[in-house]
Amino acid sequence: MTDHIRAAVVGSTGYGGVELIRLLLTHPKVTITSVISSSNAGEPLTAGYPHLQQALPVETLDGVDPAIIREKADVVFAATPSGVSGKLVPQLLEHEGLRVIDLSGDFRLKDRAAYETWYKHEAPPQASLEQAVYGLTEIYADQVRGAAFVSNPGCYPTATTLGLIPAVEAGAIDRGSIIVDAKSGVSGAGRGLNIGWHYAEMNENFKAYKVNKHQHIPEVEMVLGERAGEPVTVTFTTHLVPMTRGILCTMYASVADDRFLSEDAWIEMYRSYYKDKKFVRIRDKGQWPATKEVWGSNYCDIGFSVDPRTRRVTIISVIDNLVKGASGQAIQNLNVMMGWEEDLGLRLAPVYP
Amino acid sequence: MTDHIRAAVVGSTGYGGVELIRLLLTHPKVTITSVISSSNAGEPLTAGYPHLQQALPVETLDGVDPAIIREKADVVFAATPSGVSGKLVPQLLEHEGLRVIDLSGDFRLKDRAAYETWYKHEAPPQASLEQAVYGLTEIYADQVRGAAFVSNPGCYPTATTLGLIPAVEAGAIDRGSIIVDAKSGVSGAGRGLNIGWHYAEMNENFKAYKVNKHQHIPEVEMVLGERAGEPVTVTFTTHLVPMTRGILCTMYASVADDRFLSEDAWIEMYRSYYKDKKFVRIRDKGQWPATKEVWGSNYCDIGFSVDPRTRRVTIISVIDNLVKGASGQAIQNLNVMMGWEEDLGLRLAPVYP
Amino acid sequence: MTDHIRAAVVGSTGYGGVELIRLLLTHPKVTITSVISSSNAGEPLTAGYPHLQQALPVETLDGVDPAIIREKADVVFAATPSGVSGKLVPQLLEHEGLRVIDLSGDFRLKDRAAYETWYKHEAPPQASLEQAVYGLTEIYADQVRGAAFVSNPGCYPTATTLGLIPAVEAGAIDRGSIIVDAKSGVSGAGRGLNIGWHYAEMNENFKAYKVNKHQHIPEVEMVLGERAGEPVTVTFTTHLVPMTRGILCTMYASVADDRFLSEDAWIEMYRSYYKDKKFVRIRDKGQWPATKEVWGSNYCDIGFSVDPRTRRVTIISVIDNLVKGASGQAIQNLNVMMGWEEDLGLRLAPVYP
Amino acid sequence: MTDHIRAAVVGSTGYGGVELIRLLLTHPKVTITSVISSSNAGEPLTAGYPHLQQALPVETLDGVDPAIIREKADVVFAATPSGVSGKLVPQLLEHEGLRVIDLSGDFRLKDRAAYETWYKHEAPPQASLEQAVYGLTEIYADQVRGAAFVSNPGCYPTATTLGLIPAVEAGAIDRGSIIVDAKSGVSGAGRGLNIGWHYAEMNENFKAYKVNKHQHIPEVEMVLGERAGEPVTVTFTTHLVPMTRGILCTMYASVADDRFLSEDAWIEMYRSYYKDKKFVRIRDKGQWPATKEVWGSNYCDIGFSVDPRTRRVTIISVIDNLVKGASGQAIQNLNVMMGWEEDLGLRLAPVYP
């Protein structure tokens, strides 16, 4: 077991990158040795992020050079946009001993055709796709352990699949009946400029977007299908909430088994399923989690309601999209890859209020 | 046709009341002659609402006295809490010639037992319930015309039923498959103090509440059932959005008829259904309405997505909960009751941004 | 007195333009006959502003052609950016009988050198500058009456000068001691994209900008100096508040005269000064106005605190930056130009909450 | 030097208390052994704060019993309201070896009469006042070191005095000219219910409150006067910003010395003054700090503007009111009291965005 490693963050000027930096700064076994940006190399990181002044051992942004990254770091987090990671990661993987955790969507779908349909550009090479371990840590820790390359899940898929997997595996719901109504804070859209994310347009506003077209849909179906042992198709709607962080998924399904017509049964099933998982908290009966209750932390909280009138269950899950939905889970994966305690550097209470 | 009437607003210190005042102030055929509050009688309205300074012809709050109300006014808006209206309105109706528009939920459900189940207190007398015309104006204008007593719909039911009625009537969807995922701004909860609506708790927060238990559920089912000619049961979840005004309902149902597997078919069906309705706007293909696009106005905007993979339609409707969802629709009902143009005093563009 | 006029709005796709449209739609003596945009001519206005669907008699954006504008309209509102108005307005003024109200900053400063120092581009021609009447309506109504060309004040100068003029004229404060601490909602920055106004950056954030450098400073000093009869220099700081609309100015000055060491004296002085002004409301003792109390309306509310310990007065004024600070005041100016009642189309209560 | 201590938090159900818990949970030398609430003793802390589920070693709230506190803890944080601390702390201090850090305002003012004037209730006993060391850590570390009882500064005074002390000590400004325009997020008002902090009232709103009357004014004047060696009187206005956390103070003063007419001189003076202070960051020329840039962290960032036209300096300082303005500084004081590194448990980057 290695005691201390050096980390590089590619895409340090995006929200995923800067959140990785915040979290890694308090990780007891990691030192950030390189912050990397293709577009701002040579500039101080604090030019775009004055909040990091004096907080960081390295200050100047490096360019993207796999050989230099390998020299400076033992693990690299690729917090790069979809399309960019697909090209960069194969080059990084050529450098022996360099561990890679990719936060883009490029290596999640194993099916290149599906990738190209949903992401609208060319998929990464098949060889790299096969190397990638899908890092939904609670479910795939065995594969992550010792892996050299982990593909970190998307924010919506994390909240959705953690909320549905126990039910899907148990056959508690009709797999054809799943509807996911997902809501996210604006930071999920990244730091790029867009009139839709302009303050005066988004404040006092709630809206749907990419209805039935979000690129996270096939990822959700892939994971649920894999756990179910048969194809699962979902209806999936994404909405933007006037807040910065947080995802709440309200998930509906028809109860397939009379044993699951009470909330107690759901709570028991999920508490049992996640009993050793530190970051999944099953809420008490009659309590549904709010996004602020996980804000800034790596938790995923889940609550239930069962309506005997309609025989449907309503499952509500929340995460912080930038932590459990991105950078926190990436660190959780690093911990498992390294054989460390899963929650090292992540024992953070949510920030409240 | 009367040319000008005098209006009293009971419950002037709540959000529904103060919004009625804002809207009535620009109505060309109405003068506010009494603002009424049981708890603050004798005080100036501006004590709690300094924004109304100099804006209003009457300044001092009157107490609740039906005889005096009748003397001062031709129509009374009861923007009183549920439970209070149930007692007050029967007394008001004893005064001949006084028209009443009630904004509470007390006279919406015709079934007293259902009322008591969902509202948890005693239902109003049967006689008053029978007098009440349910004022979902686009649908029930014929009954509203000339009525003396209108029960104004709830905010969630307005957005929901306007979004579902054409489909339910046309048999375009499987009536047992309806799921409504509703989101509301915080003003819907009223001006009462509650830690859950405290700024520091609600800001940067999104949460579900009253899951499967909201008192608007039976109202939605009553209206949809009445239009369908058979009972309709829905799954209905309510959420609070960190914003002041606005409701967005995302509604899911299985398409029952192959003709409705395209968005064009939905747009055509709804445009035809609402063709003379000034306040319902059906959005173009690929456009889903956002709450800010109806903010401060009496519009209800509706958009569609059809997913051929799952054969489900997603219908999205938005309103301003305090206007079309309460005070604006109350004035729309007044206009129809009086035989005036339906949009008198309501030709307001949404406030944007 | 003309009974009805036709209006064109240039810059219809900016926030000032779209707010003009909202307000003009309910003006009883104005019809919008042309909405104009240089960059989006030929497109429907609703492409960028779906909230205006069905609300407007004209739908397609016209290009900027002064001759056609003259044909279609009797008055033109130029809600164009600074620099653009300076070139366009002189061309518009060549068309006889066309009244022009300019909302940019281009014609406010009479001193071309000052303009070029603060605005960093060339000033408009001297002749047009001389034609422009500065439209701070409460103060300069006599000049506005019958004018052909009005330059509408800036948002910060409106809130600031209405809050200071009575004191400056009365000699109640030391004119060298004025400090203005101004705070504005984000809509004041317009619809242009900028990372600083991105939702995730601005939400839960409060910041200063352009400290001592805002281009509205010389405008404030010009007006105060003109009323004082001697040069006035101010310290002026601008801040961005995480909200869409609203300006609050906290203004400090040393009391120059013992008669003004009580709040009563200030209230009396201001109520007397503004006694016939419908849009200025002087608040009662111990009450300071909040931005929400004028939201969506043309009011400017003012309150006071006098500290006998420091012999300083604190004056607080609020406006809606898009109404009294821009489009509302432009319509107020139109009313005065036309000899109509000053508040025609502007008898709007603030939207609350 | 003690290696590890046990901490009790009184007032665990307020925002200051819950923030202490969040921060102490990652402190390497502290274990929380008791969470205390007078009103909710016996209940689980998570009843009011479900976000803390599973995060905390102790779960049930203890009542307020000094003897038991002494048994369970080595240090007690009193995050109790003003008035309550004044009575509780003297009892705690009777227990030998128990260190006390008080976050209320009760022990800040040494002058009992001043306390009673501003706080409107009886001051604590003189003896306890004399024991209290005022814990503005950057300035009074020498007194804090080894102290048994520290009175933690108020949020506004922390931001204000850190921003003014170097100038006051250097004689760079006219001490009679100081004006502080302070803005705070709503969490500063605490968790108590009040219509003014209700979401629908505070959202899209900016307002002043307690103008010239805030109880933090004498605290600011006490500290500045002590550093100046002569009385200092300030004009001080407090405002509420529609955000949860953050304070920004804009401070104005006349420059008293020509050497300080450039921003470079100010930056140099402050960098030199705070050169060993890890939590004070002086910003580069032309950069003013925003509240989000210190959000969730213990930093105080300071920037400057000098206007040669008016010979005034504008100093802008920001803190997170719940961290450096309350709980973070309390822990900083604990570290200094214990002889530990000042930033132990506080090496936190701001949360961004």
pLDDT digits (tens, 9 = 90+) for C323-345: 999 999 999 999 999 999 999 99
Asked, for residue C350, whether it belongs to a domain, the answer is no
In chain D, count H helices and then E strands.
Answer: 11, 13
CB atoms B310 and A209 under 8 Å: no
pLDDT digits (tens, 9 = 90+) for C112-124: 999 999 999 999 9
Contact A305/B at CB under 8 A:
yes
CB atoms within 10 A of CB C28: 10
Same domain, A287 and A181: yes
- D320 and D296 in contact (C-beta within 8 Å)? yes
Distance in Å, alpha carbon of C105 to nearest chain D alpha carbon: 22
C192: CB partners within 8 A, 6+ apart = none
Range of the domain at A173: 156-321
DSSP string, C109-132: -S-HHHHHHHH-SPPPPHHHHHHP
CB atoms A347 and D26 under 8 Å: yes
State the Cα–Cα distance between residues A238 and A185, nearest whole angstrom: 11
What residues pair up with B133 in beta bridges, in sequence order?
Answer: B150
Enumerate the active-site residues of C.
155
Asked, for residue B183, whether it belongs to a domain, the answer is yes
List chain C residues with CB under 8 Å of A201. Answer: 199
Q: Taking the CA atoms of A38, A43, A47 and A49 in sequence, report the sign of the dihedral they define.
A: positive
Residue A44 is encoded by which pair of tokens? 């101080």
Candidates B291, B292, B302, partner chain A, best to mutate (most A CBs within 10 A): B292
Asked, for residue A349, whether it belongs to a domain, the answer is no
Asked, for residue D348, whether it belongs to a domain, the answer is no
State the Cα–Cα distance between residues A70 and D209, nearest whole angstrom: 56
CB atoms B244 and D15 under 8 Å: no
The whole-number pLDDT of residue C1 equals 52
Q: Return per-residue pLDDT of chain B as tens, 353 residues.
A: 568 999 999 999 999 999 999 999 999 999 999 999 999 999 999 999 999 999 998 989 999 999 999 999 999 999 999 999 999 999 999 999 999 999 999 999 999 999 999 999 999 999 999 999 999 999 999 999 999 999 999 999 999 999 999 999 999 999 999 999 999 999 999 999 999 999 999 999 999 999 999 999 999 999 999 999 999 999 999 999 999 999 999 999 999 999 999 999 999 999 999 999 999 999 999 999 999 999 999 999 999 999 999 999 999 999 999 999 999 999 999 999 999 999 999 999 999 99
Same domain, B26 and B160: no
What residues pair up with D314 in beta bridges, in sequence order?
Answer: D252, D305
CB atoms D200 and B242 under 8 Å: no
State the Cα–Cα distance between residues C215 and C117, nearest whole angstrom: 9
List chain A residues with CB under 8 Å of B204. Answer: 185, 243-246, 291-292, 295
Contact A352/D at CB under 8 A:
yes
Q: Which of B21, B36, B150, B155 is catalytic?
A: B155
Same domain, C125 and C222: no
Residue D227 is encoded by which pair of tokens? 């550093």
Asked, for residue A336, whether it belongs to a domain, the answer is no
Q: What is the interface pTM, i.e. ipTM, of the complex?
A: 0.97
CATH of the domain at D72: 3.40.50.720
CB atoms D206 and C310 under 8 Å: no
D246: which DSSP letter? Answer: -
State CA D94 to chain mean position distance. 25
Q: Is B155 a catalytic residue?
A: yes
Same domain, B48 and B111: yes
Same domain, C62 and C184: no
State the Cα–Cα distance between residues A77 and D4, nearest whole angstrom: 35
| Angle, vertex CA B122, rays to CA B118 and CA B125, nearest 5 | 115
With cut-offs at 50, 70 and 90, classify the pLDDT of residue A308.
Answer: very high
- C202 and C261 in contact (C-beta within 8 Å)? no
CB atoms B22 and C347 under 8 Å: no
Tell me the residue length of chain A: 353
Task: Enumerate residues 68 to 107 of chain B having a beta carbon within 8 A of any beta carbon in chain C.
Answer: none
Contact A347/D at CB under 8 A:
yes
Rounded to a whole number of angstroms, the distance between the first and last alpha carbons of chain D is 38
Same domain, A202 and A265: yes
> Which of C21, C245, C301 lies closest to B349 in CB terms?
C21
Tell me the residue length of chain B: 353
Asked, for residue C145, whether it belongs to a domain, the answer is no
Residue A287 is encoded by which pair of tokens? 């309590």
Q: Which residue has the tokens 């008198």?
A: B344
Contact D275/A at CB under 8 A:
no
Residue D104 host element (H or E): none
D255: which DSSP letter? Answer: B
Same domain, D83 and D203: no
CB atoms C248 and D291 under 8 Å: no
The whole-number pLDDT of residue C57 equals 86
State the Cα–Cα distance between residues C321 and C192, nearest whole angstrom: 17
Rg (CA), chain B: 20
Q: Comparing C-alpha atoms, which of C349, C326, C338 is closest to residue C7?
A: C338
> Which of A51, A292, A347 lies closest to D293 in CB terms?
A51
The whole-number pLDDT of residue A57 equals 86
Long-range residue pairs from B268-271, CB within 8 A, at least 24 positions apart, any chain:
B269/B166, B269/B167, B269/B170, B269/B172, B270/B166, B270/B302, B270/B304
CB atoms within 10 A of CB C230: 10
CB atoms B294 and C51 under 8 Å: yes
User: Is the pLDDT reported for residue A306 higher than 60?
Assistant: yes
The whole-number pLDDT of residue A2 equals 67
Asked, for residue B327, whether it belongs to a domain, the answer is no
The whole-number pLDDT of residue C65 equals 96
Contact A351/B at CB under 8 A:
no
Same domain, B112 and B184: no
The segments of chain D whose pLDDT lies below 50 read none
Contact D310/C at CB under 8 A:
yes
CATH of the domain at A314: 3.30.360.10
Tell me the pairing of strands A247-254 and A312-319.
Answer: antiparallel
- A69 and A93 in contact (C-beta within 8 Å)? no
Same domain, D173 and D77: no
Q: Which of A32, A36, A109, A155 is catalytic?
A: A155
Same domain, D166 and D295: yes
The whole-number pLDDT of residue B2 equals 67
Same domain, D213 and D291: yes
Candidates B51, B204, B206, partner chain C, best to mutate (most C CBs within 10 A): B51
State the Cα–Cα distance between residues B18 and B40, nearest whole angstrom: 14
Contact B52/C at CB under 8 A:
yes
Asked, for residue A327, whether it belongs to a domain, the answer is no
Same domain, B291 and B162: yes
A30: CB partners within 8 A, 6+ apart = A4, A5, A6, A7, A24, A75, A334, A345
Contact D243/C at CB under 8 A:
yes
Burial bucket for residue C225 (CB in 10 Å: 0-12, 13-18, 19+): middle
- C83 and C116 in contact (C-beta within 8 Å)? no
Provide the number of structural domains found in chain A.
Answer: 2
pLDDT digits (tens, 9 = 90+) for A43-61: 999 999 999 999 988 989 9
CB atoms B291 and A237 under 8 Å: no
Last residue of a domain, one of A82, A114, A131: A131
Contact A311/B at CB under 8 A:
no
SS (H, E, C) chain A: CCCCEEEEEECCCCHHHHHHHHHHCCCCCEEEEEEECCCCCCCEHHHCCHHHCCCCCCCECECCCHHHHHHHCCEEEECCCCCHHHHHHHHHHCCCCCEEEECCCCCCCCCHHHHHHHHCCCCCCHHHHHHCEECCHHHHHHHHCCCCEEECCCHHHHHHHHHHHHHHHHCCECHHHCEEEEEECHHHHCCCCCHHHEHHHHCCCCEEECCCCCCCHHHHHHHHHHHHCCCCCCEEEEEECCCCCCEEEEEEEEECCHHHCCHHHHHHHHHHHCCCCCCEEECCCCCCCCHHHHCCCCCEEEEEEEECCCCEEEEEEEECCCHHHHHHHHHHHHHHHHCCCCCCCCCCCCCCC
CB atoms B250 and A212 under 8 Å: no
Q: Nearest residue of D to residue C186 by CA position?
A: D204
Contact B203/D at CB under 8 A:
yes
